[in-house]
Amino acid sequence: MPKRYLKRHIPNPEKLKQNKMLSILGDSIHDPELWHLHRHSVARAFLNGLFWCAIPMPLQMLFAALFAIPLRANIPLSLALVWVSNPITMPFVFYINYLIGEFIIGQNSGSEFQLSIEWIWSKLGDIWLPLYLGSLVSGGIMGVMAYFSILGLWRYNVNRRWQERKRKRDNTL
């Protein structure tokens, strides 16, 4: 896993500790384990952040931070991953979640989907269940797949570096 890359691009712990929204977390936010980048904290952060990015709700970052504490996940990375669903990608992500929910329920709304606030508000009573069910399923699947992928990639990278060191050591003898 590109640990140096992550260290360069995640926010500074001191800066996040001063964030007023995150101050509700109290002293638990000062635990160094929540800021350290290691295999398990990064994998848990991907699980946490990608799950919450799929859920259509306000304050996704707050929930990602709250759940990062009991999960022992890296907080800055959890918060950054929530932004996978940003204003540009959000309509596509939530539409796919809605289709997944419709497929699971076996329901077909029968009406053509329209990407407009008026249509969404008028159909909210019909679309909320498939949207949230699809969001929970896709968020869970994305998070679990990312969790195991990170663990595998991290292990692969460590093994590769060990092999390179062994090869260099054998060549110098």
Residues 73-123 have pLDDT tens digits of: 998 899 999 999 888 888 888 889 988 998 999 877 656 666 667 777 787
User: Which residues are within 8 A (CB) of 155 and not within 5 positions of it... i.e. 6 or more apart?
Assistant: 39
pTM for the model: 0.78
Range of the domain at 35: 3-172
Backbone angles phi, psi at 10, to 5 degrees: -90, 150
- Written as one letter, the residue type at 109 is S
Q: How far apart are CA 34 and CA 19, in angstroms?
A: 16
Residue 49: band (very low, low, confident or very high) from pLDDT cuts 50, 70, 90: very high
Total domains in the fold of the chain? 1
Closest CA to 67 of 51, 56, 83, 85: 51
Please name the helix (run of DSSP H) or strand (run of DSSP E) that holds residue 103, with its range, or none: helix 90-105
Q: How far apart are CA 157 and CA 148, in angstroms?
A: 14
Q: Give pLDDT, residue 24.
A: 67
Three-state SS for 58? coil
